[in-house]
Structure 1
């Protein structure tokens, strides 16, 4: 269950970092654009300011409700990345910090390809190979110490892996950027705990609340000295994969 308020107040870096992704898209007046995984709608609204006709979709009804409330001039819908079926094709699909949540990546790629016009472009950024490795490793250790198996929550591909999937689906790769992006967390003392409460909920399905709390506290304690930089702030070890591709 997504917490839209916590997302906007404590994790605004998700959409703030997405601003530079819009530069890759270069939306044009009159284009029809789909924002796949729109979250609370900040970037969707920015895309609409270009004069494009933009629709935002997200699997979270809470996120879509927040987006609709704050940006009533933009169209938003609840839809899943692996099954969405909209009544038109788009000049472009934009996706920020979403596709690493989609374990069935081939289905999402197929849906994106179907919904693009011939020559339409896909511009996306999401977690790449090695993303939040310190955090996931610490969670796994803490869970195993308590007798729990740690599930694979995200899909973090290498550039070559994802490019191959896109090409098999009928895309031509325009460019790919694979880079480290240490990401400052909100609070030096609780940042990892807050991050896990926001983004790590799938780790803790079927785990009792007291164990969940102790696991998160252990991870915070273990990683604070590891992820604290000279400025005194905590930085999550983000690795990002950014891709621009065109439908053949």
Structure 2
């Protein structure tokens, strides 16, 4: 999200960084053309921590991370040798030279135009290049984002969100397969996992949500942010049975450019 604060995100991003470690560890090596190390692009790189994890893999060479939030890019910093960051929107991103691998972790469900995102990532790849993206998918259980949108459009807060569409999009694995195929990608996997994360306290969960709810709270008076977050987390507790646990679906989409 374009308004996310990189400093505040880094303070509460333990979950994202752990998911990033698992994501990086599960990547299958990709060879660059001509025997060189793989060139990688990370769409929605956030604070750059996961980008650096990927850059540290022995088969990876240069890595470019981009994010729509200038504050996130500022937090990511200059990067290590071979790692660079820039501001950018995945729906309009144009690679100056092709990549061997495109990755994205928990960013694409914040992009309403999924087809455009996949098409731009496909175009960023060389023939034979691969895409590995992981993000929140649609499931039988309401997601935290679903609950936030329900509260936002309810009687207490609806006046701030009149005519505003949900900032997130959750699709099923089958829908993502179809969109990827339509973008010219050959899907090799679309595996869904149901995960949980215990923040240890209701206060820690609220602090994490305060950063993640920017798409909603940026429309509210500053003094109302805390009340909105507490109402959402209270409603969400009735979904998962806890005031400190997040349960979420993760879809890992793997595809290649022919």
The two structures have a TM-score, normalised by structure 1, of 0.87
1:165–1:196: structure 2 CA closer, same or farther, 3 Å change rule?
same
Alignment correspondent of 1:176:
190
Which segment is superposed worse, 157-166 or 25-34?
Answer: 25-34
Alignment correspondent of 1:12:
14
Q: Does 1:234 align with 2:241?
A: no
Deviation at 1:163, TM superposition (A): 0.5
The answer to whether the Cα contact below 8 Å between 1:189 and 1:224 also exists between their aligned partners in 2 is no
Q: Does 1:33 align with 2:35?
A: no
The answer to whether the Cα contact below 8 Å between 2:76 and 2:85 also exists between their aligned partners in 1 is yes
Alignment correspondent of 1:24:
27
Q: Please tell me the root mean square deviation across aligned C-alpha atoms, in Å.
A: 2.3
Q: Does 1:245 align with 2:252?
A: no
Deviation at 1:108, TM superposition (A): 0.8
1:42–1:211: structure 2 CA closer, same or farther, 3 Å change rule?
closer
The two structures have a TM-score, normalised by structure 2, of 0.84
Alignment counterpart, residue 100 of structure 1, candidates 89, 103, 109: 109
Q: Distance in 1 between matches of 2:132 and 2:184?
A: 15
Which 5+ residue runs of structure 1 have no aligned equivalent? none
Which 5+ residue runs of structure 2 have no aligned equivalent? none
The answer to whether the Cα contact below 8 Å between 2:142 and 2:239 also exists between their aligned partners in 1 is no
The answer to whether the Cα contact below 8 Å between 2:101 and 2:129 also exists between their aligned partners in 1 is yes
Q: Distance in 2 between matches of 1:7 and 1:134?
A: 17
> How many residues are matched?
243
